[in-house]
Amino acid sequence: MLRSISRLGSAFLLIVAASVCVHAQPQPVTSPAGNASEMRAIRAFNTAKATSPLALHAFLTGMPKGADLHMHLSGAIYAETFIDNAIADHLCVNTTTLAFVKNIGTTRSIPAQSVCEKK
């Protein structure tokens, strides 16, 4: 069954937010969780952190780039942003898969509403 996003309202938003929001406590970098290279990296980080801000900056500058090694949800894209973009694009939601799908048209009303395929 497909429904217009603008008609789903806060119920859909609550479901998406509940499935996305996870609160995690930050973990200190003190105990190694793996192999020798991880232990060396932890020791080097702790040494640089204890030495000076300049040493810590040099250590972090030398870290590999190009991937998220660690991320907090507060720094990620909010689910509301995806929903706002879908509303602006007049997308529909497949309530079985909870996936965004293209509409089959829009109404002539102001504001225009999505016309979703009936399944």
CA distance 60 to 63: 5
Could you give the angle at which helices 53-61 and 36-51 cross, rounded to 10 degrees? 140
Question: 34 with 48: CB under 8 angstroms?
Answer: no
Q: Is the Cα torsion angle 48, 49, 53, 56 positive or negative in sign?
A: positive
How does strand 92-94 pair with strand 2-4?
A: antiparallel
How does strand 114-115 pair with strand 105-106?
A: antiparallel
Q: pLDDT tens per residue, the chain (119 residues)?
A: 555 555 444 444 444 444 444 443 444 555 545 688 889 989 999 999 999 999 999 998 888 776 666 777 777 787 888 888 888 888 888 888 888 888 888 888 888 888 888 76
pTM, full prediction:
0.35
